[in-house]
């Protein structure tokens, strides 16, 4: 390859492609002379006119020019508009006024944006990575608030309306038919009469007692219809549809927030976390205002680039490994993965045992009304404590073990993150699974009449709701306690005590990945729990609201900015991906509860149905026959199998199309390279001929 410098520069400047690039740059100084100076001016003028025409299609503010030039362009665009037909003129002016109105609305709504000033300050001082964590937290506050509005207005509000008799409304109860009486016995201890004040506190923390009969839990909604004047409001159907609505809403909002970048990152070949161009061209945070933060950013960028370059050399070394070394390393990795699996199974088994123990003991004491209340509270919180402990220890062990597996640093980070995500989310799954094993514990005919263990769990949905409630409260307490009892003392020690050991320990760094996993864990609990406890999103909103301020204070007062940020976990893409995993994991237990496990016959809106899902087939049976047949036809095999086959064919078609496009792109790339070589060659020949 001949070096570029061999070809004379002035020839290159006269090439049409260079001219058009300079024109598009909008440098007004170079525009005029370049036009006049080219040979073959007729073709050049035509090209410029064509470009002008292209430019004129886009509005003035999307052009990369200075304001003065944009003014000229806009005036010429307006002059052209005068020559258009009336219809086009009207369309253009109406779209302009629409855009103006939208921008006014956007300007007003920027006042309403929550915490705009706080997040802006954090961005200036700590950079975009940490700021994206706080934006994410704000997103969760809003999401939970909207979910609360949905559940409240469709489920709780009709009941409140009918209780106060507004709009002449009444509640209808339909007692279940064909059900044994023993299944419908449910007497929650609502703390009537004189009780110690201390009982209220205990009930607040465990969700039992007076809290159990409020609208917080599923058991309150033992209503089958609400009559508002003459219309019948089908509460069970509304309950189920509101559940699906909030799940769909969450999913759509997450997808919208991730935007095209998400799809692009999934589809594209290049590793989105590691591209050099991404690090260099998008490396500097232009929003940093603090010189100290800028200094740290410089250092971290230098470190990151050096690490990546070293990693590349390491990859080369890995590729050159001998077979004996490979065997050794693979067997070591398998061994360590076995250890990881063993640790995970240990975690899951202990969660299972503790949940079973807690359920057995707390149930017994409630039924017998013993007064060992504080121990009872401890027993009730035992699953939450074990889960939090597992969530804390697991990542420590993983980051210790992965050093022996000899991966590249970036892969190490990613694998540890994935393992931590898995531990956190699977813990919730195991808790729910152990709850269900208790509820559906059908040995020795415990559930003969009703399909579930009715003696211990007359209203099992409320129990599951209580577990989720306890998890959420405990999570909140831990998040409040850690800065108070760990971070602030640490900061005090570091600033006032000058022992070498403590100084080496240093201040806390703000670990983005840990904090993100924490709030996603809380959000998964909320998604699962909302079906069993419709007012749980309100608690989640308040919790995340307070957490924002706690984290902000912790960040500004006790943390120093991370010296070596992990770009993988600082990007929005990572948060949304993990949130999506949490969402999918939340849908699975919900699906099982709604569709497989028989609903309680003693409480709740689904008393008259076998499972919660049955509301929908029952409602469809009331539709006109034609619609019924269509809907049932859609659910039958005669429809499903051809539908599945058609979907497969369509998918294969798109895969083939994508592959063909990829081939064409490769060919075009090769052709571009060849053209570039040709160009250089010809220019050299011309220069030689000229001499």
Site for another protein in 570-589 (CB under 8 A): 571-573
Please say which residue, 180 or 271, places its beta carbon nearer to another protein: 271
CA 354, CA 584: separation in Å to the nearest integer? 26
Residue 527 sits at the vertex; the CA angle it makes with 566 and 208, to the nearest 5 degrees, is 120
Please say which residue, 18 or 157, places its beta carbon nearer to another protein: 18
CB of 540 to another protein, least distance (A): 26
Count of positions on this chain that bind another protein (CB under 8 A) = 71
Please say which residue, 62 or 637, places its beta carbon nearer to another protein: 62
Please say which residue, 288 or 439, places its beta carbon nearer to another protein: 288
Beta bridge partners, 226, equal 171, 233
Please say which residue, 543 or 567, places its beta carbon nearer to another protein: 567
Please say which residue, 293 or 390, places its beta carbon nearer to another protein: 293
Record the tokens describing residue 266, joined without a space.
């999934």
Give the β-pairing of 559-560 and 508-509: parallel
CA 428, CA 351: separation in Å to the nearest integer? 9
Please say which residue, 77 or 363, places its beta carbon nearer to another protein: 77
CB of 603 to another protein, least distance (A): 48
CA distances from 673 to 228, 353, 680 (A): 74, 65, 11
Q: Which one of 442, 595, 640, 673 is in contact with another protein (CB under 8 A)?
A: 673
- Give the range of 189-197, 347-355, 536-544, 568-576 binding another protein by CB under 8 A: 568-576
Greatest extent of the chain over all pairs of C-alpha atoms, in Å = 111
CB of 67 to another protein, least distance (A): 4
CB of 572 to another protein, least distance (A): 7
Please say which residue, 137 or 382, places its beta carbon nearer to another protein: 137
Residue 353 touching another protein (CB under 8 A): no
Q: Which one of 11, 24, 253, 474 is in contact with another protein (CB under 8 A)?
A: 24
For another protein, the binding residues in 275-334 under the rule CB under 8 A are 275-278, 280-291, 293-295, 298-299, 301-302, 305-306, 309, 312
CB of 63 to another protein, least distance (A): 8
CA 535, CA 153: separation in Å to the nearest integer? 11
Please say which residue, 204 or 672, places its beta carbon nearer to another protein: 672
CA 589, CA 486: separation in Å to the nearest integer? 35
Please say which residue, 299 or 403, places its beta carbon nearer to another protein: 299
Residue 542 sits at the vertex; the CA angle it makes with 200 and 459, to the nearest 5 degrees, is 50
Please say which residue, 550 or 580, places its beta carbon nearer to another protein: 580
Q: What is the distance, to the nearest Å, from the Cα of residue 140 to the centroid of all Cα atoms in its chain?
A: 9
What angle do the packed helices 128-151 and 116-126 form, to 10 degrees?
150
Per-position x/- string for 37-76, each x denoting binding to another protein as judged by CB under 8 A, each - no binding:
-----------------------xxx-x-xxx-xx--x--
Please say which residue, 61 or 367, places its beta carbon nearer to another protein: 61
Please say which residue, 13 or 214, places its beta carbon nearer to another protein: 13
CB of 311 to another protein, least distance (A): 11
**3-state SS class at 549:** helix
CA 280, CA 510: separation in Å to the nearest integer? 24
- Give the range of 20-28, 232-240, 380-388, 609-617 binding another protein by CB under 8 A: 20-28
CB of 29 to another protein, least distance (A): 9
CB of 690 to another protein, least distance (A): 22
Is residue 228 within 8 Å of 169, Cβ to Cβ?
yes
Long-range Cβ contact pairs of 285-291 (< 8 A, separation 24 or more): 285/123, 285/127, 285/128, 287/123, 287/124, 287/127, 287/128, 287/131, 288/123, 288/124, 288/125, 288/127, 289/124, 289/125, 290/124, 290/125
CB of 391 to another protein, least distance (A): 28
CA 177, CA 671: separation in Å to the nearest integer? 77
Q: 3-state SS of 75-93?
A: HHHHHHHHCCCHHHHHHHH
- Give the range of 244-252, 464-472, 567-575, 631-639 binding another protein by CB under 8 A: 567-575
CA 613, CA 609: separation in Å to the nearest integer? 8
CB of 106 to another protein, least distance (A): 7
Record the tokens describing residue 335, joined without a space.
């061994």
For another protein, the binding residues in 125-164 under the rule CB under 8 A are 128, 132
For another protein, the binding residues in 89-128 under the rule CB under 8 A are 100, 103-104, 106-107, 110, 120, 124, 128
How many other C-beta atoms can be found within 10 angstroms of the C-beta atom of residue 114?
A: 12
CB of 544 to another protein, least distance (A): 22
CB of 422 to another protein, least distance (A): 23
For another protein, the binding residues in 227-286 under the rule CB under 8 A are 261, 264-265, 268, 270, 272, 275-278, 280-286
CA 647, CA 633: separation in Å to the nearest integer? 18
CB of 549 to another protein, least distance (A): 22
Sign (positive/negative) of CA torsion 410, 413, 416, 421? negative
Q: Which one of 315, 659, 661, 669 is in contact with another protein (CB under 8 A)?
A: 669
Please say which residue, 70 or 333, places its beta carbon nearer to another protein: 70
Cβ neighbours for 404, distance < 8 A, ≥ 6 positions apart: 332, 336
CB of 671 to another protein, least distance (A): 9
Alpha helices in 369-499 (DSSP H): 373-401, 409-439, 460-482, 488-496
What is the DSSP code (8-state) at residue 287? T
CA 350, CA 430: separation in Å to the nearest integer? 10
CB of 7 to another protein, least distance (A): 10
Please say which residue, 80 or 675, places its beta carbon nearer to another protein: 675
For another protein, the binding residues in 391-450 under the rule CB under 8 A are none
Tokens 């998890």 locate to 471
Please say which residue, 10 or 181, places its beta carbon nearer to another protein: 10
Is residue 147 within 8 Å of 246, Cβ to Cβ?
yes
Q: What is the DSSP string of 113-169?
A: STTHHHHHHHHHHH-HHHHHHHHHHHHHHHHHHHHHHHHIIIIIHHHHHHHTTGGG-
CB of 221 to another protein, least distance (A): 43
């Amino acid at each position: 390859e001949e070096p570029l410098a061999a070809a004379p520069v002035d020839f290159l400047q006269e090439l049409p492609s260079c001219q058009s690039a300079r024109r598009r740059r909008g440098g007004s100084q170079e525009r005029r002379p370049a036009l006049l100076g080219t040979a073959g001016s007729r073709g050049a003028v035509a090209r410029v006119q064509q470009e002008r025409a292209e430019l004129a299609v886009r509005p003035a503010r999307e052009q990369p020019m200075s304001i003065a030039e944009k003014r000229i362009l806009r005036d010429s665009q307006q002059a052209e508009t005068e020559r258009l037909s009336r219809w086009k003129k009207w369309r253009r002016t109406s779209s302009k006024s629409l855009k103006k109105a939208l921008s006014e609305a956007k300007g007003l709504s920027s006042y309403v944006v929550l915490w705009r000033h706080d997040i802006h300050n954090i961005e200036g001082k700590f950079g975009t990575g940490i700021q994206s964590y706080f934006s994410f937290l704000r997103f969760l506050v809003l999401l939970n608030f909207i979910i609360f509005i949905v559940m409240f207005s469709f489920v709780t509000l009709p009941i409140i309306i009918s209780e106060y008799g507004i709009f002449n409304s009444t509640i209808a109860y339909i007692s279940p038919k064909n059900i044994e009486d023993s299944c419908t016995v449910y007497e929650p201890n609502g703390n009537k009469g004189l009780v110690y004040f201390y009982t209220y506190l205990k009930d607040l923390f465990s969700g039992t007692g007076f809290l159990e009969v409020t609208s917080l839990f599923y058991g309150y909604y033992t209503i089958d219809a609400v009559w508002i004047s003459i219309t019948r409001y089908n509460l069970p159907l509304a309950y189920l549809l509101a559940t699906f609505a909030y799940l769909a809403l969450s999913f759509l909002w997450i997808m919208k927030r991730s935007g095209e970048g998400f799809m692009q990152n999934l589809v594209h070949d290049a590793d989105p976390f590691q591209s050099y161009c991404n690090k260099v061209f998008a490396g500097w945070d232009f929003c940093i205002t603090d010189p100290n933060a800028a200094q740290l950013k410089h250092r971290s960028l230098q470190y990151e680039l050096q690490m990546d370059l070293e990693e590349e050399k390491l990859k080369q070394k890995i590729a050159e490994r001998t077979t004996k070394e490979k065997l050794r390393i693979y067997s070591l990795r398998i061994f360590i993965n076995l250890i990881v699996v063993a640790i995970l199974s240990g975690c899951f088994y202990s969660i299972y045992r503790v949940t079973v123990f807690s359920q057995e003991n707390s149930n017994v004491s409630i039924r017998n009304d013993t007064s060992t209340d504080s121990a009872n509270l401890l027993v009730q919180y035992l699953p939450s404590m074990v889960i939090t402990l597992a969530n804390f220890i697991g990542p420590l062990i993983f980051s210790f073990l992965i050093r022996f597996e000899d991966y590249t640093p970036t892969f190490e980070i990613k694998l540890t993150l994935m393992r931590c995500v898995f531990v956190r989310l699977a813990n919730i799954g195991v808790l729910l699974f152990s709850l269900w094993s208790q509820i559906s514990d059908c040995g020795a005919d415990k559930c003969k009449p009703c399909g579930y263990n009715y003696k211990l769990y007359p209203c099992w949905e409320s129990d599951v709701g209580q577990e989720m409630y306890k998890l959420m409260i405990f999570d909140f307490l831990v998040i409040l306690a850690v800065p108070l009892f760990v971070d602030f003392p640490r900061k005090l020690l570091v600033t006032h005590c000058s022992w070498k050991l403590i100084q080496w320990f240093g201040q806390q760094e703000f670990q983005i990945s840990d904090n993100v996993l924490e709030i996603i864990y809380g959000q998964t609990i909320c998604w699962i729990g909302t079906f069993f406890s419709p007012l749980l999103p309100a608690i989640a909103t308040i919790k995340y609201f307070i957490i924002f301020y706690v984290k902000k204070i912790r960040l500004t007062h006790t943390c120093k900015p991370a010296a070596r940020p992990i770009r993988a976990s600082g990007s929005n893409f990572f948060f949304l991906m993990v949130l999506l995993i949490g969402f999918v994991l939340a849908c699975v237990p919900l699906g099982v509860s709604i569709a497989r496990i028989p609903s309680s016959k003693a409480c709740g809106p689904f008393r008259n149905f076998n499972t919660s899902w049955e509301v929908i087939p029952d409602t469809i049976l009331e539709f006109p026959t034609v619609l019924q047949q269509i809907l049932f036809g859609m659910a039958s095999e005669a429809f499903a199998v051809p539908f599945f086959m058609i979907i497969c064919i369509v998918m294969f078609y798109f895969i083939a199309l994508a592959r063909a496009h990829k081939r064409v792109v490769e060919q075009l790339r090769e052709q571009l390279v060849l053209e570039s070589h040709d160009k250089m060659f010809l220019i050299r020949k011309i220069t030689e001929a000229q001499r």
